[in-house]
Amino acid sequence: MARIKPQTLLLQSKKKKGPTRISLTTIITCNLIVVLIVLCLFATYRHWSQRSRNQQEEHGLPNLLDVDAKKFDLPGYAIINTSKGSITVELFKNGSPEIVDKFLDLCQKGHFKGMPFHRVIKNYVIQGGDYQRLGAAEDWTSKGKPGNQLTISPRHEAFMLGTSKTKQDSKGFELFITTAPILDLNDKLMVFGRVIKGEDVVQEIEEVDTDEHYQPKSPIGIISVTLKREI
C-alpha cells in the first residue's frame, strides 16, 4: 500500500469544506415569519372574543366580567344627612340588589334631597316620603306591636332600612327606618340596608312630638344623601 505524503494530506484537508454559515438575511426572514405568526394568532383571538361579546349582547346575555366589575364598584354605604344629624347606612348589595340599584339611582338624581319624615311612630318606625302617599298608619300600629315573644331574625331588628312592598315608582319611593324589632317586617317592607352609625339620630327623630296621625309637629327631613364605597 502506497504511503501518502504529508504534503498531500495537507492539501486534502484544505480542500474539505468547513461548517455552513447562516446568513443574516435568513435570520431576519425567520424572525419576521415568527412575528407574523404571533400577530395572526393574536388577531384571531381578538376576533373570536369580540364575536362572542357581540352574540351575548344580541341575545341579551350579560357579560359576567362586566357585571361583576359593576357590582364591585357600586357604593356600599349611604350617609343620610338629616336636620337632626347624619345616619350612616350599610346597603345590602348582595341580598337586595334590585332595590339597592334603584335607591342608588334615585340618590344620584337627588330624589331624597329635602324629603320630609312625614310619619314617626315611637318604638316602631320613622318614615320619609311623599305626603300624598301616607297610607293607613293605624294598620302599622295595630298589627305591628304584638305582645307575644317570637323568634326574631336579623332583618326584623331595630335600625333596619327598607321601603314599602307596594308598587314603587320614581315619585313614590319611600324610606323606612325601624326603631324597634318588628316581627312581621317582611310582610310590610323590603329591607335593603341597616344603620351602622347614627342610631342616636334615629332615636332623636323618633322622640319628636307628633299629632294624632303620627306626623311631626315641626318639620324634619333629609337634607342630602352621600354615597360611599367604603367607610
Q: Which of 125, 67, 126, 124 is nearest to 93 (CA)?
A: 67
Distances in Å between the Cα of 80 and the Cα atoms of 29, 32, 184, 194 are 68, 63, 25, 12
CATH number given to 71-228: 2.40.100.10
Q: Which of 119, 111, 96 is nearest to 212 (CA)?
A: 119
Residue matched to cell numbers 498531500: 8
Q: Containing H/E element for 203?
A: helix 199-206
Do residues 99 and 118 touch, judged by C-beta distance below 8 A? no
Alpha helices in 21-150 (DSSP H): 24-58, 64-73, 97-108, 137-143
CA Rg value for the chain: 37
Going from N- to C-terminal start, the domains of the chain cover 25-61, 71-228
pLDDT tens per residue, range 92-101: 999 889 999 9
The reported pLDDT for the residue numbered 80 is 97
The reported pLDDT for the residue numbered 136 is 42
CA-angle at 63, arms to 59 and 69, nearest 5°: 155
Rama region for 60: left / alpha / beta (φ>0; ψ in -120 to 50; rest): left
Q: Which of 194, 229, 202, 198 is nearest to 91 (CA)?
A: 194
Segments of the chain with pLDDT less than 50:
61-62, 64-69, 133-138, 140-154
